[in-house]
Amino acid sequence: RLDKTLCWDGELTVTRHDRETGTSFIIRLDSTRLGPAAGGTRAAQYASFGEALDDAGRLAGAMTLKMAVSNLPMGGGKSVIALPAPRNEIDQGTWKRILVLHAENIDKLGGNYWTGPDVNTNSSDMDLLNDTTEFVFGRSTARGGAGSSASNTSLGVFEAMKATALHRGLGTLDGLTVLVQGLGAVGSGLAVLASQAGARLLVSDTDSERLAWARQAGHDVVEIDNVRSTPCDIFAPCAMGGVIDSAVAGELPASAVVGAANNILADDEAGDILHQRGVTYAPDFVTNAGGAFHLVGREVLGWSEETVGARTRRIGDTLAEVYSIAESEDIDTDRAARILARRRIETAGTHPPHT
Ligand code: NAI
Ligand code: PHE
């Protein structure tokens, strides 16, 4: 498995192991063609080192596509910290050591890779990384960073949802049933926006406090195991990736899939099966780019909050382009979005390293 995982088309894989905490660190740079590679730091437990490497590679690839399709001047990379225990069981001292080691690794890449928050890391973690390395997006605003990207990601997914509902012939969100899987930072914001637009919300989470919040807001809760078999108009995966494999794609009782999770499709055939069944899939790397607009927009391009919001609202226009390519070429939407991203990468000049 390791042989296969390491033979990829990306540019660089960096790994380190810390015997004291039992933590493995991975940074993978998929592409620096459009600019320094950027992508968040994900901390999670993995069944094996190979699985962690695979995840980092797939997530880095998604960042390349996200930046390209969004016309942002960055490449794609990602960090995975493979933890020795669940994040909530790791004490403060150990977590701090882990972050310092990770920051040392990032710093050695000399600006070819910029990190940011992702699953299980937040702005205060970015502040801590920034004590050791400058190549960090999403520090707290008190430390001069752009802060959390989550609410702008919710806005982008909401725009994508509206555009996709229209494209699919469902009309506006008013009266539609939207199933949000994962009521975290992004999913909860999305639930608020969709509900304000008149959608009926079905929700699911593993965290009982988040479900209590949802019940109080008047949303109906779906059991974790029933999420992919519950009928809805729009399914919004906002927890982890890999939720739709070929088998699920063949049965999913929804008209459209529009979510925030990175790498929603678990295999290559899933997108094709959804396409054949008339389920419109909004490619995740187009839909969830609001976080990148926020971080890169504010911290690299000097955009105001208004400009970030305006660019994020145009995610619907990018999706319209994707849907038009998919229709004219009779291919699935994931493939169409990859074509659009590749076009943008190929027409751009090669970015010289270190600038
Ligand atoms: P989060 O960690 O705040 O929220 C994730 C939520 O999913 C938590 O409430 C968790 O309890 C829940 N969850 C975990 N496993 C679940 C399961 N099996 N079923 C139902 N719920 C489950 O993370 P955040 O920031 O909201 O991100 C969500 C997804 O969106 C992640 O995949 C992330 O990579 C992606 N994303 C986030 C961006 C951001 O700006 N925060 C930007 C782009 C993508
Ligand atoms: N992790 C988020 C994403 O997947 C936000 C992020 C964007 C982090 C760009 C770093 C760089 O989009």
- Can you give the pLDDT at residue 88? 94
- Can you give the pLDDT at residue 4? 85
- Can you give the pLDDT at residue 329? 96
> Which residue blocks in the chain are alpha helix, DSSP H?
2-6, 49-69, 92-108, 123-130, 150-167, 185-196, 208-216, 246-249, 268-276, 284-287, 290-299, 305-313, 315-329, 333-347
- R_g (Cα) of the chain, nearest Å: 19
Active-site pick, 78, 96, 108, 162: 78
Instruction: Return the SS3 of 233.
Output: coil
Low-confidence ranges of the chain (pLDDT < 70): 349-355
Alpha-carbon distance 335 to 210, whole Å? 35
- Can you give the pLDDT at residue 349? 62
* CB contact at 8 A, 138 and 116: yes
For the entire predicted model, the pTM comes to 0.96
Residue in this structure with the two tokens 């008209």, named with its chain if needed = 255
Atom 25, ligand 1: which residue's CA is nearest? Answer: 185
Atom 43, ligand 1: which residue's CA is nearest? Answer: 288
Alpha-carbon distance 46 to 31, whole Å? 24
Would residue 78 show up in a list of annotated catalytic residues for this protein?
yes
Interface predicted TM-score (ipTM): 0.99
Q: How far is the CA of 117 from the centre of ligand 2 (A)?
A: 6
